[in-house]
């Protein structure tokens, strides 16, 4: 069968999300998926092409770090407003729609009111299709605002349907054209009814059925992979984590033996991780696996490097070197597959190449050297971690595997602030294994998103058996999260932490003090580097 034809037949009714560079655009796609509707994100500069290709039944305009009154700030293609299909503009999306349809947006400082950031309450002033079955006239509801500029005059045809103290135009609607604009962000969890509002837009305004599932995602991705790869060869970087495993199994389903998986032991793995991965893939799956022992070259390259970004860049680059060598050995591969997830992408560069700010260069993305001569296959790029787990279950992976905590590509290197060497990795491996062992024994593993030990570049004085010690400090981290984008500290009880600290200091030579990290994300990040 013609693969392009196959792809079209699996592409369901959809919503086009136009990205203006907001940090949370992908959350819009996620809410739309949760409503059982397929969506794609296109940067504003490519939205016209995406519109023609997808023939969507609705459009959502995202937020942006830019301001509509700023010169050169992005605009939506005019044809979207003339297409006769529903539009929901969120924050910047509301403002840019207002501006492009003839209304007025002014910078917050000019209105003399400043911006509005964080939790806010709005009052519903009129019923509208977006609120159907959810919010009624006169009710007050919590929402999440994050804006400086304001709509000061709306475009013809619009009216106010909800208002807040800081945003008189909290929600505007043109029911005739089915255009809606919210000043707040319905896509974030801090707007408790936000997901339902987006579902209302998808189901009640756009008229979509909501019958799209992870099984459909699997089918669509398998068809896309076949189309992208054709009869070429793919090499997949397997880390043993959930993401790269799900990616490998999905790609294997699509192209079978055209896929070769490479597992790089860079010496930055957790205790026994390499054996676990080998057993898992050789014994349980019939997927070709090459294991590369690259510890020495990674350690040599990390020697003397203490800057986190330099570590990440080196590890990312060296990974690709190893892949290229392995690809050459198997007779060449045209594609490199990675289990890159959405949060890896958004914090490195904007998902769509737009202007969101770099927090860290996650190694699957920012570390790729320009010279890399393989194309990327990244079938999980639009998903959040919990969605990847759903997809893993859909693909038949056992729960115990699917439930594993995330482990970053640069491995223990970013859990050893400062210089990394083999002996420090060995110390950390032991401490980390004890910590996770205690967590499992306490039955807490599944309640925690991610737990790990960190080895600090600080030595402190201790006393053991009448002797003075002068050894390293070990930090413990455990967080809860739904997607890794934000995280809360896991509240262990003191007895548990005491037990872990005692075991680590007693059993791991080189550590004489243990501390617990009490920082949420934001303002911290989950990893220490
Ligand atoms: P941060 O530290 O940015 O981490 O709050 C968010 C999630 O991403 C993981 N992480 C990475 N994963 N390559 C990866 O594959 C990386 O370079 C990387 N850095 C962080 C981190 O473990 C957490 O789950």
Which residue has its alpha carbon closest to ligand 1 atom 17? 362
Residues 245 and 201 grouped into a single domain: no
Of all protein residues, whose CA lies closest to atom 22 belonging to ligand 1?
408
Does residue 469 have a cis bond before it (omega within 30 degrees)? no
Asked if 510 and 471 touch (Cβ cutoff 8 Å), the reply is yes
Residue 60 lies in a domain: yes
- What's residue 460's pLDDT? 98
Task: Using alpha carbons, list the distances in angstroms from residue 450 to 148, 403, 431.
Answer: 35, 11, 15
Report, in angstroms and rounded to the nearest whole number, the Rg of the chain calculated over CA atoms.
25
Out of 180, 205, 230, pick the residue that ends a domain: 205
- Ligand 1 pocket check for 241: Cβ under 6 Å: no
Q: Shortest CA distance to 18 belongs to which of 82, 64, 53?
A: 64
List the CATH number of the domain containing 501: 3.30.300.10
Q: Is residue 521 part of a domain?
A: no
One domain, residues 230 and 344:
yes
Looking at the structure, do residues 351 and 425 belong to the same domain, yes or no?
Answer: no
Range of the domain at 332: 215-402
- C-alpha distances in Å from residue 134, one per residue of 52, 88, 195, 373: 33, 17, 11, 51
pLDDT at 51: 96
Are 59 and 88 spatial neighbours (Cβ–Cβ below 8 Å)? Answer: yes
- Which residue, among 365, 346, 343, has the nearest Cα to 357 in the 3D structure? 346
Q: Treating both helix axes as pointing N-terminal to C-terminal, what angle do 214-229 and 385-394 enclose, rounded to 10 degrees?
A: 90
Residue 210 lies in a domain: no
Specify the ligand 1 atom closest to the Cα of 405: 24
Half-sphere exposure of 169 (CA within 13 A, CB side): 27
Identify the residue whose C-alpha is closest to ligand 1 atom 16.
362
Atom of ligand 1 nearest to the CA of 527: 2
Do 385 and 434 share a domain, yes or no? no
Q: Locate the ligand 1 atom nearest the alpha carbon of residue 362 and give its number.
A: 17
pLDDT value at residue 114: 63
Residue pair 292/326 in contact (Cβ under 8 Å)? The answer is yes
| 112 CB-near residues (< 8 Å, 6+ apart) | none
Q: Would the CB of 362 count as within 6 Å of ligand 1? A: yes
Pairing of strands 38-43, 14-19: parallel
Rounded Cα–Cα distance for residues 265 and 285 (Å): 20
Distance 1 CA to ligand 1 centre (A): 39
- Tell whether 455 is covered by a domain: yes
Give the DSSP H or E segment for 96: helix 92-100
> Is residue 474 flagged as an active site residue?
no
Q: Which residues pair with 142 in a beta bridge?
A: 121
Q: Are residues 286 and 364 in the same domain?
A: yes
Q: Ligand 1 centre from 363 Cα, in Å? A: 9
CB 361 within 8 A of CB 367: yes
Q: Is position 78 within any domain?
A: yes
Same-domain status, 366 and 463: no
From CA 525, how far away is CA 529, in angstroms rounded? 8
Q: Is the CB of 484 under 6 A from ligand 1?
A: yes
Q: How far apart are CA 238 and CA 247, in angstroms?
A: 9
Q: Is the CB of 344 under 6 A from ligand 1?
A: yes
Measured from the Cα of 363, ligand 1's closest atom is 17
What are the b/e assignments for 262-272, b being 16+ CB within 10 Å?
bbbbbbbbbbe
72 contacts 100 by C-beta, under 8 angstroms: no
pLDDT of residue 327: 81
Residue nearest to atom 9 of ligand 1 (CA): 408
Question: What was the pLDDT predicted at 496?
Answer: 98
- If asked whether residues 198 and 224 sit together in one domain, one would say no
Give the mutation target among 247, 525, 527 for probing the ligand 1 site: most ligand atoms within 8 A of CB: 527
Q: How many helices (H) and strands (E) does the chain have?
A: 16, 20
- Pocket of ligand 1 contains residue 527 by CB under 6 Å: yes
CATH number at residue 19: 3.40.50.880
How confident is the model at residue 355, as a pLDDT?
45
Our answer on whether the CB atom of 316 is closer than 6 Å to any ligand 1 atom is no
Q: Are residues 315 and 461 in the same domain?
A: no
- Same domain flag for 270 and 170: no
d(CA 322, CA 420): 20
Tell me what pLDDT residue 44 has: 95
Report residue 87: phi and psi, to 5°: -130, 135
Q: Which pair of structure tokens corresponds to residue 38?
A: 């397929």
Domain count, the chain: 3
Report the candidate in 457, 461, 451 with the shortest Cα–Cα distance to residue 516.
451
409 lines ligand 1 (CB under 6 A): yes
Q: Please indicate, yes or no, whether residues 45 and 181 belong to a single structural domain of this protein.
A: yes
Catalytic residue (one of 99, 128, 187, 527): 187
487, part of any domain: yes
239 is in an annotated binding site: yes
Could you tell me the two tokens for 287?
């997927």
User: What's the rounded Cα separation, in Å, for the pair 526 and 528?
Assistant: 7
Which residues, 6 or more positions from 439, have their beta carbon under 8 angstroms from its beta carbon? 445, 448, 451, 478
Q: Is 311 in the pocket of ligand 1 (CB under 6 A)?
A: no
Q: What is the pLDDT along the chain (529 residues), one digit of tens a residue?
A: 344 444 555 567 999 999 999 888 989 999 999 999 989 889 999 999 999 989 999 999 999 989 999 999 999 999 999 999 999 999 999 999 999 999 999 987 776 666 677 889 999 999 999 999 999 999 999 999 887 788 899 899 999 999 998 888 999 999 999 999 999 999 998 899 999 999 999 999 999 999 989 999 999 999 999 999 999 999 998 877 899 999 999 999 999 999 999 999 999 999 999 988 888 788 777 888 999 999 999 999 999 999 999 999 999 889 888 878 888 898 888 898 988 887 666 555 444 445 455 666 665 544 444 455 778 899 998 888 889 999 999 998 888 788 899 898 899 999 999 999 999 999 999 999 999 999 999 999 999 999 999 999 999 999 998 999 999 999 999 999 987 888 999 999 999 999 999 999 999 999 999 999 999 999 999 999 9
Check whether residue 273 and residue 380 sit in a common domain.
Answer: yes
Q: Is the CB of 364 under 6 A from ligand 1?
A: yes
CA nearest ligand 1 atom 4, residue: 526
Note if 185 is an active site residue: yes
- Residue 64 known to bind ligand: no
**Domain annotation covers residue 349:** yes
Write the CATH number for 379: 3.40.50.620
Does residue 132 have a known ligand-binding role?
no
pLDDT of amino acid 201 = 98
Last residue of a domain, one of 205, 236, 269: 205
CA of 455 to the centre of ligand 1 (A): 17
Ligand 1: which of 340, 526, 529 to mutate, judged by most atoms within 8 Å of the beta carbon? 526
Give the list of residues 6+ apart from residue 151 with CB closer than 8 angstroms, or none: 94, 95, 98, 103, 104, 105, 169, 172, 181, 183
Residue 410, domain member (yes or no):
no
What is the distance in A from the centroid of ligand 1 to the CA of 468? 37
Phi, psi at 319, each rounded to 5°: -55, -50
The CA-atom distances, in angstroms, between 52 and each of 49, 57, 160 are 5, 12, 32
List, edge to edge, every strand of the sheet that includes 58-61.
38-43, 14-19, 58-61, 87-90, 179-182, 171-174, 159-164, 116-124, 140-147
**Residue owning the nearest CA to atom 14 of ligand 1:** 408
**406 C-beta closer than 6 A to ligand 1:** yes
What are the angstrom distances between the C-alpha of 420 and each of 352, 362, 410, 414, 515? 34, 18, 12, 9, 20
| Domain shared by 65 and 109, yes or no | yes
pLDDT score recorded for residue 2: 41
Give the pairing of strands 234-238 and 179-182. unpaired
Which of 171, 205, 239 is the C-terminal boundary of a domain?
A: 205
Q: Which of 310, 362, 417, 487 to mutate to test the pocket of ligand 1 (most atoms within 8 A of CB)?
A: 362
């Amino acid at each position: 069968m013609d693969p392009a034809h196959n792809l079209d037949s699996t592409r369901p009714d959809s919503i086009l999300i136009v990205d203006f560079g907001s940090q949370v655009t992908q959350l819009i796609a996620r809410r739309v998926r949760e409503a059982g509707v397929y969506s794609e994100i296109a940067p504003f500069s490519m939205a016209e092409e995406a519109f023609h290709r997808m023939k969507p039944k609705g459009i959502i305009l995202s937020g942006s770090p830019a301001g509509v009154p700023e010169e050169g700030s992005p605009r939506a293609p005019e044809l979207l407003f003339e297409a006769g299909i529903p539009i929901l503009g969120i924050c910047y999306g509301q403002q840019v729609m207002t501006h492009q349809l003839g209304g007025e947006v002014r910078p917050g400082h000019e209105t003399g009111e400043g911006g509005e950031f964080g939790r806010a309450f709005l009052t519903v002033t009129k019923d509208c299709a977006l609120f159907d079955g959810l919010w009624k006239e006169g009710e007050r509801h919590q929402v999440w605002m994050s804006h400086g500029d304001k709509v000061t005059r709306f475009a013809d045809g619009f009216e106010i349907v909800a208002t807040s103290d800081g945003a008189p135009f909290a929600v505007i609607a043109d029911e005739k054209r089915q255009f809606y604009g919210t000043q707040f962000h319905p896509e974030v969890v801090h707007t408790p009814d936000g997901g339902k509002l987006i579902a209302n837009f998808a189901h009640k305004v756009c008229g979509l059925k909501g019958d799209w599932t992870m099984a459909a995602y699997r089918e669509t991705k398998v068809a896309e992979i076949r189309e992208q790869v054709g009869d070429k060869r793919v090499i997949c970087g397997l880390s043993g984590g959930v993401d790269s495993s799900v990616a490998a199994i999905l790609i294997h389903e699509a192209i079978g033996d055209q896929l070769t998986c490479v597992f790089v032991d860079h010496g930055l793995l957790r205790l026994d991780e390499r054996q676990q991965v080998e057993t898992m893939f050789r014994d349980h799956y019939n997927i070709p696996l090459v294991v590369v022992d690259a510890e020495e070259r990674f350690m040599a390259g990390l020697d003397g490097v203490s800057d986190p970004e330099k570590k990440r860049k080196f590890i990312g680059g060296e990974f690709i070197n190893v892949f290229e060598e392995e690809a050459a050995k198997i007779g060449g591969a045209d594609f490199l597959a990675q289990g890159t997830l959405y949060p890896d992408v958004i914090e490195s560069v904007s998902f769509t190449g737009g202007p969101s700010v770099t927090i860290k260069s996650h190694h699957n993305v920012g570390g790729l050297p320009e010279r890399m001569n393989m194309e990327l296959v990244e079938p999980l790029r639009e998903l959040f971690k919990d969605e990847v787990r759903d997809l893993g279950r859909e693909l038949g992976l056992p729960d115990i595997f699917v439930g594993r905590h995330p482990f970053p590509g640069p491995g223990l290197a970013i859990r050893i602030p400062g210089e990394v060497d083999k002996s420090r990795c060995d110390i950390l491996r032991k401490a980390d294994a004890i910590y996770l062992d205690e967590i499992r024994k306490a039955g807490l593993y599944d309640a925690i998103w991610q737990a790990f030990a960190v080895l600090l570049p600080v030595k402190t004085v201790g006393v053991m058996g009448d002797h003075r010690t002068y050894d390293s400090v070990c930090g413990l981290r455990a967080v809860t999260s739904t997607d890794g984008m934000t995280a809360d500290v896991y509240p262990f009880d003191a007895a548990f932490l005491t037990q872990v600290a005692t075991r680590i200091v007693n059993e791991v030579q080189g550590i004489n003090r243990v501390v617990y990290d009490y920082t949420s994300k934001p303002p911290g990040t989950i990893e220490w580097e």
